[in-house]
Amino acid sequence: MIKVKINGQEQSWDGDPDLPLLWFLRDEVGLTGTKFGCGQALCGSCTVIVDKEAVRACITSVNDVAGREVTTIEGLHPNGDHPVQKAWRQVNVPQCGFCQTGQIMQAAALLMDNPKPSHDQIREAMSGNICRCGCYQRIENAVHLASTGV
Amino acid sequence: MNFIDNPGKLRGFEKNIKVEKVSRRSILKGLGITGGFVLAAPVMSRQALAYETGAGKMPHGVVVDPRIFVSVAPDGIVTIVGHRSEMGTGVRTSLPLIVAEEMEADWSRVKVQQAHGDEVKFGNQDTDGSRSTRHYLIPMRQIGASARTMLEQAAAKRWGVPATEVKAVNHEVVHSASGRKLGFGELAADAAKESVPAIEGLKLKDPKDFRYLTKGQIGIVDLHDITTGKARYGADVRLPGMKYAVIARPPVTGGKLVSFDPEAALKVPGVEKVMKVQGWPWPSKFQPLGGVAVIARNTGAAIKGRDALKLTWDDGANARYDSVAYRKELEEASRKPGLVVRKEGDAEAALKGADKVIVGEYYLPHLAHVAMEPPVAVADIKGDKAEIWAPVQSPGGTREDVAKTLGIPEGNVTVNVTLLGGGFGRKSKCDFALEAALLSKELGAPVKVQWTREDDIRNGFLHTVSAERIEAGLDKNGKVIAWRHRSVAPSIASTFAAGTVHQAPFEIGMGLVDMPFEIANISCENPEAAAHTRVGWFRSVSNIPRAFAVQSMVGEIAQATGRDQKDMLLELIGSPRIVKPNVKDLWNYGEPQDSYPIDTARLRKVVELVAEKGGWGRQVPKGHGLGIAAHRSFVSYIATIVEVAVDDKGKLTVPRVDTAIDCGTYVNPERIASQIEGAAIMGLSLAKYGEISFKDGKVQQKNFDDFQVIRMDESPAVTNVYIVPPGPDTPPSGVGEPGVPPFAPALINAIFAATGKRIRSLPIGKQLEA
């Protein structure tokens, strides 16, 4: 039996320990804010925060996070008012929106690590997250806004 | 019926193909339609808005009825139905916003309800072709005006005053003579009893009184949900007892399953069952390819099980499809005469007599849509009733196809439209929903079918592959006197009808025969090309190769004659005029030419605007270059300037993009800007990396590692968007797609300016490194 804390709540799993965290979150726990985009850690749609680090849930097994603390988009802020979320809304970032939860989690992890990133640092840190609609200009501006106060 | 001879029905036309004997529209008329007014075309009530669109020619046309689209609750909350699919364009916000504007509803007290697939009730729902605002601006205004009129009538009756003395203002009706007011909620029950006013008598708001339209301050309705993970896409639907399915499909289009061994898959923890999926022979429109499904308790187990399957396929006739060989075929065909689809003057003779002939041969490969949400659908089939939850661009078409596939009446099928995690034309094809329906029926349980990214890239409906050859003949003064454009590409129609070798009118109508240059001798030709895989609509469709060829050729002529690109472009566009190409069936995006002519004054205007705002001719640093391109598509006019920087090692970056768009009357400029910003990224993606190639009939790419798209570190540093203010009676035109076509040629022209290298084959890949 694997135990893992997700958004502050303990969850347990006695199935395949190799099950990717992504599918555990989405299909077993029912937290669908974390998205499937590629399954190979190439697009960042499934980004969650494990302890304080952004990880790709599609190549992280449930076993890998045993005993650790996972934060998904649903647990980022109780009212959805994390500075990154607020900045996203202020800049009207999303088009289809599908990749945006992963983008937001990546940005939140960046700001935990580096509260005042430069534009180059933002572009570098966010380049693992693909947006096919092409919202990059706004994502960059929103991360910058979140880092300077929303 | 032969849909190739019926250009008015194309794109969304599949519905008309299905009805062989009686057109759906005549059936509709016979029924007289309950509960709605079905219009042949929107009826205008103000002279200033008097234009016709092709909306009435779409399957099921337009429904203008406030009782279907608007409801007002006693607490004043106004619910407005959004009947088109939201895939990122903002349509789920902008169409209801039009209704709210016209009915004087306060947007903060409006809720949007997504329509299920029902075109008899809601009118056409095909969210494609950059048509939603174009076809629905006036009908949505009429719906809003009807609702407002009913609320005003109810208030007037309550007060015993003439209706002309009352006026709806910001969610209440006011009788200014007496100072009395009643909120929309207080009037809801009475207003519902009022008869629906005739469209002809409706009074629409004066645009100067608009509070929301054209103001650009409205965020999308799903903004909060998207940023908190609550937004529900197709993949997020969960039903009690639902099974998760992943399918192994034939690796070659038209291939068949010979045998399979489920044993290893069944040993994967969580896998419950392995079963065959019914497939249809190729081509058969959007019907599933067939294969083997692995059913599991979660998607992860289903994927692992699918990977463990042992499968034997008969690859069939397309097993020889090879992109290297096929490119040669296309290019050879482009060097020989083909079916003439536009002819003015005598291009052959003029080319022979020309002082100089410039030849450009351009090649653009297949592309995959790779919307961030791979295809996915949930189906729950119980007896002869079907319920579907899916991210589909064609809710009505999906409903019909599910009914037909299961052999049940259409009325027994409910299609719930979720948000779409991107569409780009891929989700106009509902094959994934049909797969879910077939599996649910057989299993007797709700099923979610999830495509992996590999499935999406290998088993989709690809953008066509194309060879474009242009010969331009110049006289001794450098004036272009002859233009011959041969376009060779497998047609989307090949996905509907075997043996298709020519482009359909809607395809040649995208930048080939509607080419607007003022040249005396023009020949447009379409040599034959057979398809060997499923070809489908991809954002802006055939405009991608055509704009690339035509606008690259403008750069080549400028290059050969030592002229400025922009001046050359304006000279070729020529005098301000309405272009009437000598073409049998000019598609014109399904729109009447009276309302939507090919207007070179508007094309010139966007070129001039972007040149002015984008600083055309400005000094740029060494290694930088500016390129320009302009194109009319989806009856909008767009011009783009790209600035590139190419370093010593051939590394390409894009410091700046400027785009001017004339999309006529518009609703939400903030979303227009976002579409154009995104189009620059998609244009850069396809120019730099976009290539799906085949070997032994199989797609050689699999995921974002070998089918790359632009990421933030390579994206343009800034994209500026300039919107041409519309004239008082300029009809609205497309926004979702038109931004894509001019980007790649502007980029390529800029690369030439920076490096002297002329790229004629996409993607750019490593060509600059040589």
Structural domains of chain A sorted by starting position, each given as residue range(s) with its CATH number in brackets: 2-75 (3.10.20.30), 83-148 (1.10.150.120)
Candidate from B219, B226, B709 with C-beta closest to A132: B709
Of residues B585, B575, B725, B755, the one with CA closest to residue B660: B725
Q: Which segments of chain B have a pLDDT < 70?
A: 1-50
For residue B581, how far is the Cα from the chain centroid?
Answer: 25
Under 8 Å between Cβ of B275 and B219: no
Could you tell me the maximum CA-CA distance found in chain A, to the nearest angstrom? 44
Q: Report d(CA B533, CA B539) in Å as an integer.
A: 18
Query: What per-residue confidence (pLDDT) applies to B585?
Result: 86
Interchain CB distance below 8 Å, A101 and B229 = yes
How do residues A101-149 score in pLDDT, each as one tens digit? Answer: 999 999 999 999 999 999 999 999 999 999 999 999 999 999 999 999 8
CB contact under 8 A, B421 and A101: no
**Side-chain half-sphere CA neighbours of B131 within 13 A:** 27
Residue with tokens 């400029």, as numbered in its chain: B669
By the 8 A CB rule, do B109 and B73 touch?
Answer: no
Instruction: Tell if the CB–CB gap between B681 and A134 is shorter than 8 Å.
Output: yes
Distance CA(B390)–CA(A48), nearest Å, equals: 25
Backbone dihedral angles phi then psi of residue B193, each to the nearest 5 degrees: -85, -15
Amino acid at position B140, single letter: M
Averaged confidence pLDDT in chain A? 98
d(CA B571, CA B548): 18
pLDDT of the residue at B32: 27
Pairing of strands B466-474, B356-364: antiparallel
- Position A150 scores a pLDDT of 76
Q: At what angle do helices B565-573 and B543-561 cross, to 10 degrees?
A: 110
Domains of chain B by start residue, with CATH: 33-226 (3.30.365.10), 234-317+375-450 (3.30.365.10), 323-368+461-755 (3.30.365.10)
User: What distance in Å separates residue B398's CA from the closest CA in chain A?
Assistant: 21
SS3 A46: coil
Q: Mention every residue, 6+ apart, whose C-beta is less than 8 A from residue B439.
A: B243, B245, B275, B277, B293, B295, B379, B447, B449
Instruction: Give ∠ CA B545-B551-B553 in degrees, rounded to 5.
Output: 100
Q: What is the per-residue pLDDT across A41-94, written as a single tens digit (0 to 9) for each?
A: 999 999 999 999 999 999 999 999 999 999 999 999 999 999 999 999 999 999
Torsion (CA) B17, B23, B24, B28 in degrees, nearest 10: 170
CB B270 within 8 A of CB A20: no
Helix H or strand E segment including B673: helix B669-688
B-contacting residues in A 66-125 (Cβ below 8 Å): 72-74, 80, 85, 88-89, 92, 94-101, 104, 122-124
**A150: closest CA of chain B, how far (Å):** 15
pTM of the complete model? 0.94
Q: With contact defined as beta carbons under 8 Å apart, do B260 and B266 qualify? A: no
User: How far apart are the C-alpha atoms of A74 and B1, rounded to whole Å?
Assistant: 52
- Interface contact A34-B224, CB threshold 8 A: no
Each residue of B329-367: pLDDT tens digit? 999 999 999 999 999 999 999 999 999 999 999 999 999
Least Cα distance to B227 among A142, A6, A89, A90 occurs for A89
3-class SS of residue A115: coil
Nearest to B223 among A19, A89, A134 (CB): A89
Rounded CA-CA distance B161/B155 in Å is 9
DSSP single-letter state for residue B707: S
CB contact under 8 A, B374 and A130: no
pLDDT at residue B729, rounded to an integer: 81
A60 touches chain B (CB under 8 A): no
Write the DSSP symbol of residue A132.
T
